[in-house]
Structure 1
Amino acid sequence: MKPSSDPSSGQKPDHASLQQAAEWYARLSADPHDEAVGAAWRRWHGQSAAHRQAWQYVERVSRRFAALQGEGDTAARTLRAARRTDTSRRQALRTLGVLSGGALLGWLGWRATPLPQLLMAWQADYRTATGEVRDVLLADGTHLWLNGATALDADYRPERRRLRLFAGEVLIETAAEARPFVVDTAQGSLRALGTRFSVTQQDGFTRLALFEGAVEVRAVDGGATCIVRAGEQLRFDRRGIGTREPVLAARQAWTQGILVAGDIPLAEFVEELSRHHQGYLGVAPEVAGLRVMGTYPLHDSEQVLAMLESALPIRIQRPLPWWTSIDARQ
């Protein structure tokens, strides 16, 4: 499937084109009046549709970034300072994180989330900022833990209990009572059968991890259903349900500020880390399948990236203070 030309569609252009676009954006921001750079950028931009799509994507993310700052010139000064030294780049990252307030809106913006979904998340009953973990006790005694950059609504009525997950990940420990307990995502619904489980809304699919009890999963299109039991996890999209796989109890460790990787692909690890990282975080296809193991501190994503770089054949690139790319080491 080819990437969409509309960055708001949720589909991203290829990693290489995105990285080039981010680097061009940094060069043009550093000196917008350099005619030679401008001419070279125009040549690059006109070479292919992939380049134009990538440029649109980076522009869209940068506009959402600027909107978060309130002061465009402050962001611009910070961006220019970030290219001077490694030390100033790290300081710029911290500054930009403060400017954005760590908002959920910012994380959704990095992902080029469609505007309607972004607005629903921003207005949700419960939400967390990038890097924040929050626990909530609902009226019936159900306990929720919200991972970073998570948003959901709670709709409690005499005949049922229902959550709507717009973004992020929630760990749920349901209270035992007669009313059904249902979680809705963009891909379907999950009915708890007395249980402890986590639900993650990701790009184009939902992930369920079950630690106690059982959950009935129903895909929104086609009506495919299945029962998932303790110790199992799976993914499903709107059309169908994937294969069950074992889940580790340590998968819940993020509630304690720890990210445990039990021999998972780097791309999956980065997906989870991105909820605790200020700005865009991408991974090149050639290293996306590298296996990651170990325990990592969620409170410091920069330290986590440094740990990955020392253990894997990768390099971390930051052409912009809010744009981080994981590529193959050369």
Structure 2
Amino acid sequence: MDNRPDHATLQQAADWFARLASQPDDPALQEAWRHWHEQQESHRQAWVFVERVSQRFNPLQQDADRAGRTLDSLRRGQQSRRQMLRNLSIFGGASLLGWIGWRQADLGTQLMAWQADYRTAGGEVREQLLADGTRLWLNSATAVDVDFSRNQRRLRLYRGEILISTASDPRPLRVETAQGSLRPLGTRFSVRQEAQRTRLNVYQGAVQVQCQASGAERIVDSGLGLTFDSRDIAPDSPVQQERQAWSQGLLLANDISLGQFIEELAVYRSGHLGVDPRIAGLRVMGAYPLHDTEQVLAMLEGTLPIRIQRTLPWWVTLEPR
């Protein structure tokens, strides 16, 4: 679960951040901020959260891009591992490592994601036809490796979400995540790498799940979905067929809460997108374009009793009107 501070405290921290950025030389303002910062542990946690989100904008994003190019050079054999590590330390040091930690993945996983065979940026959705005829869709901020050999087909998901429509091929297909592996039995299914779990939705056919640490197994039939970690598999639950609409660039809402909708929409945006708990229970219905999240926010503001508050360019919240 998300351990971030509550919405009101996060908004206070974002307001302080915006005021300090606009008046960096005001000693009275800085003293007032220090007083607020030291009042409660939740204030300090909220400030760290805002700082970490802000680090993804400005020089840090350039550092990440340069780090990715360095890894590509290593992959092509143009740099030694020692050169790569030296360059990464130059490109951001503790800041880059902090950004990696904030992405809730270890350094090794992030390095592999940066040099994965197929990658999408935040907000990008991509379709890929693999060599065996399998169709692969990559959701926003996704990284996956594809390894086909004479005897097997293997996909490794490092982050994000993929939708797979398998092709007929005598070689077994296996999808690996941080928590285990999945073996489709002629099917269409999606796999989502979450912070500590893997989420599976089966739309056609069946998929066999195996936990990495315990070896626990289960076959999940069409119309069902579940989550699992490295040891345990959660109970099945009915899958929502509209959940795969992201592969067509749409986010479909069939009478879901605004809080749940915004959680899904945030995947396609950079920065923080939050919702006030007082309106999180409002119901949302309709089809929304993922290629333009600003239009989605405008659509919500036009149909629900809410207003969009933009404290900073990268800090947007939905508040009661």
Q: Same fold (TM over 0.5)?
A: yes
Give the RMSD, CA atoms, in angstroms.
2.6
Residues 301 and 141 (structure 1), Cα distance of their counterparts in 2 relative to 1, 3 Å cut: same
Contact 2:135 2:165 in 1 (8 A): yes
Contact 2:104 2:195 in 1 (8 A): no
Tell me if 1:13 matches 2:9.
no
Equivalent position of 2:154 in the other structure? 162
CA shift at 1:70, angstroms?
A: 4.4
Equivalent position of 1:249 in the other structure? 241
In the alignment, the residues of structure 2 paired with residue 39 and residue 266 of structure 1 have an alpha-carbon distance, to the nearest angstrom, of 37
Equivalent position of 2:253 in the other structure? 261
Equivalent position of 1:100 in the other structure? none
CA shift at 1:226, angstroms?
A: 1.9
CA shift at 1:291, angstroms?
A: 3.4
In the alignment, the residues of structure 1 paired with residue 178 and residue 281 of structure 2 have an alpha-carbon distance, to the nearest angstrom, of 26
List runs of 5+ in structure 1 lacking aligned partners: 4-10, 72-104
Equivalent position of 1:66 in the other structure? 58
Contact 1:219 1:240 in 2 (8 A): yes
In the alignment, the residues of structure 1 paired with residue 215 and residue 6 of structure 2 have an alpha-carbon distance, to the nearest angstrom, of 32
CA shift at 1:301, angstroms?
A: 0.5
Deviations 1:43-95 (A, max 9, x none): 11101111112212222222232235549xxxxxxxxxxxxxxxxxxxxxxxx
Contact 1:147 1:275 in 2 (8 A): no
Tell me if 1:297 matches 2:289.
yes
Deviations 1:213-270 (A, max 9, x none): 1001223343333211112222233442233222233322222221111233334322
For 1:122-137, what aligned pairs fall within 5 Å after superposition?
Answer: 122-137=114-129
Contact 1:61 1:112 in 2 (8 A): no
In the alignment, the residues of structure 1 paired with residue 137 and residue 270 of structure 2 have an alpha-carbon distance, to the nearest angstrom, of 21
Question: SS state of the match for residue 65, structure 1?
Answer: coil
Question: SS state of the match for residue 262, structure 2?
Answer: helix
In the alignment, the residues of structure 1 paired with residue 282 and residue 225 of structure 2 have an alpha-carbon distance, to the nearest angstrom, of 21
Contact 1:110 1:280 in 2 (8 A): no
Tell me if 1:227 matches 2:201.
no
In the alignment, the residues of structure 2 paired with residue 289 and residue 235 of structure 1 have an alpha-carbon distance, to the nearest angstrom, of 24
Tell me if 1:175 matches 2:145.
no
Residue of 191, 195, 201 corresponding to 2:183: 191
Residue of 302, 322, 326 corresponding to 2:314: 322
Tell me if 1:23 matches 2:15.
yes
Question: SS state of the match for residue 129, structure 1?
Answer: coil
- The structure having more radius of gyration, on CA atoms, is 2
Question: SS state of the match for residue 144, structure 1?
Answer: strand
Contact 2:225 2:238 in 1 (8 A): yes
Contact 2:139 2:247 in 1 (8 A): yes
User: So what's the TM-score if we normalise by structure 1?
Assistant: 0.77
Q: Percent identity?
A: 58
Tell me if 1:41 matches 2:33.
yes
CA shift at 1:179, angstroms?
A: 2.2
Amino acid at match of 1:250: E
Residues 207 and 315 (structure 1), Cα distance of their counterparts in 2 relative to 1, 3 Å cut: farther
CA shift at 1:321, angstroms?
A: 0.3
For 1:86-97, what aligned pairs fall within 5 Å after superposition?
Answer: none
Count of aligned residue pairs for this structure pair: 286
Amino acid at match of 2:185: L
Residues 271 and 181 (structure 1), Cα distance of their counterparts in 2 relative to 1, 3 Å cut: farther
Residues 321 and 109 (structure 1), Cα distance of their counterparts in 2 relative to 1, 3 Å cut: farther
Equivalent position of 1:272 in the other structure? 264
CA shift at 1:110, angstroms?
A: 11
User: So what's the TM-score if we normalise by structure 2?
Assistant: 0.79
Structure with bigger RCO (C-alpha 8 Å, 6+ apart) = 1
